[in-house]
Amino acid sequence: MMMMTTLGFAHPLLFFRNKPTEKSHNPRTKCVSSSSSSASPSSSSSTETFHRTHNGQVIHKDALLCDGISEGITKKKKRVFFLDVSPLCYEGNKPSSHAFGHWVSLFFSQVSLNDPVIAVIDGEEGNQRRRALLPSYKSHRKSPNPGRYSKRPHQFVDEILRKCNVPVVRMQGHEADDVVATLMEQALQRGHRAVIASPDKDFKQLISENVQIVIPLADLRRWSFYTLKHYVAQYNCDPQSDLSFRCIMGDEVDGVPGIQQVVPAFGKKTAMKLVRKHGSLESLLSAAAVRTVGRPYAQEALTKHADYLRRNYQVLALKRDVKVQIQEEWLVERDSSNDSEVLSSFFSTLHG
């Protein structure tokens, strides 16, 4: 579920905007574990230029259009960011403390600003449920380590985020993706908009009018917003179709084999055509069980290997029933006054 990226790094001190002199409200922060949690309820561009101020900054029109800040200004619903930490702890496919510092610095200074942020980290043995279904699932992954930073894995992450007034949630036995999906649902129920900060393509299945993704782009050294409009323009279908399509085609990065492993002739065009027509994998499989839905090879694949495809769905679908409860103090404006000092100190430690 994690997309690895190759990073280019600039000096960390360049990532910070000027801070206002008065401090904002400081929400209480905490690190949540499974033992302390309670049960939950369940493009177009223009050459015209103008400027707009936001939180004391002057923002150019092209930045508003590209980064989605204009939506945060004009819409009444407040945003809450969910920071998927684990993928940010890699440079390429290697664990890297510097990568974490780089992306978090950019995230605080250019993306989330003072909006509330909830950080989520993969729990120990989080892959076990999915690996029980599919032993190859993420079997090649390495655990992040602190690199040149002397502390144990994730200890420095907890410390830095906590000092920057960000609550950290890690649930033993659960992947961060499922925890994010659960907390996101609770935030939506409270009338917020959700923005998931992650390179993980699995989160595309959650996109809606009130759910966006912001993705780290290594080549451009910046984060970029990805919305429902972007998804429809790219795929010409509903985000739920993304999950069904990947269940058929598989996910090589996550070790999930596609239908081509058993029916080589079943390609991407066939899969997308059928998913668009039937709307979901289950609707497609149900239709194929009672009538012909495609060419003989596709029909045989969908009827003979229906259990194979349903297993893929169980592995790739994000869960929204993790026993974790969002806290009201996590949804208030974040005090960002410590960001520059905390992150500069972290980079100094790495380079020392």
Render 159-192 in DSSP notation, one character per residue: HHHHHTT--EEE-TT--HHHHHHHHHHHHHHTT-
Residues 259 and 267: their CA atoms lie apart, in Å, by 9
Residues 117 and 82: their CA atoms lie apart, in Å, by 6
* The two structure tokens encoding residue 131: 């690996």
pLDDT value at position 167?
97
Q: What is the mean pLDDT of residues 129-140?
A: 90
Residues 194 and 213: their CA atoms lie apart, in Å, by 8
Within the chain, all domains assigned CATH 1.10.150.20 are found at 241-316
CATH of region 79-235+322-350:
3.40.50.1010
The per-residue pLDDT of the chain, averaged, comes to 80
Residues 344 and 338: their CA atoms lie apart, in Å, by 10
At 105, the amino acid letter reads S
20: left (phi over 0), alpha (psi -120 to 50) or beta: beta
Of 45-54, 156-165, 178-187, the poorest mean pLDDT is in 45-54
Name the pLDDT band for 219 (thresholds 50, 70, 90). Answer: confident
Instruction: Report helix, strand and coil shares of the chain as percent, to nearest 5.
Output: 45, 15, 45
The answer to whether residue 30 scores a pLDDT higher than 70 is: no
For residues 327 and 38, is the Cβ–Cβ distance under 8 A?
no
330: left (phi over 0), alpha (psi -120 to 50) or beta: alpha
The answer to whether residue 201 scores a pLDDT higher than 70 is: yes
The answer to whether residue 144 scores a pLDDT higher than 80 is: no
Give Cα 128 distance to the centre of its chain. 20
Using only the alpha carbons of the chain, give its radius of gyration. Answer: 21
Tokens 């499922």 belong to residue: 178
Give Cα 4 distance to the centre of its chain. 13
For residues 154 and 121, is the Cβ–Cβ distance under 8 A?
yes
Tokens 């969002």 belong to residue: 326
Q: Give the E-state strand segments of 183-307 in sequence order.
A: 193-197, 211-217, 222-226
Q: What is the mean pLDDT of residues 306-333?
A: 97
CATH superfamily of 241-316: 5' to 3' exonuclease, C-terminal subdomain (1.10.150.20)
The answer to whether residue 173 scores a pLDDT higher than 70 is: yes
The answer to whether residue 16 scores a pLDDT higher than 50 is: no
The answer to whether residue 47 scores a pLDDT higher than 50 is: no
The answer to whether residue 151 scores a pLDDT higher than 80 is: no
Which of 166, 118, 99 is closest to 347 using CA atoms? 99
**Kind plus residue range of the DSSP H or E element containing 42:** none
Point out which residues pair with 59 in neighbouring strands. 52
For residues 242 and 204, is the Cβ–Cβ distance under 8 A?
yes
Q: What is the mean pLDDT of residues 159-186?
A: 97
At 255, the amino acid letter reads G
* The two structure tokens encoding residue 261: 């492993």
* The two structure tokens encoding residue 103: 């992306």
pLDDT value at position 351?
79
Tally of CB atoms within 10 A around 236: 10
* The two structure tokens encoding residue 67: 């980064």
pLDDT value at position 220?
86
Within the chain, all domains assigned CATH 3.40.50.1010 are found at 79-235+322-350
The answer to whether residue 157 scores a pLDDT higher than 70 is: yes
Which of 64, 82, 83 is closest to 74 using CA atoms? 64
For residues 263 and 251, is the Cβ–Cβ distance under 8 A?
no
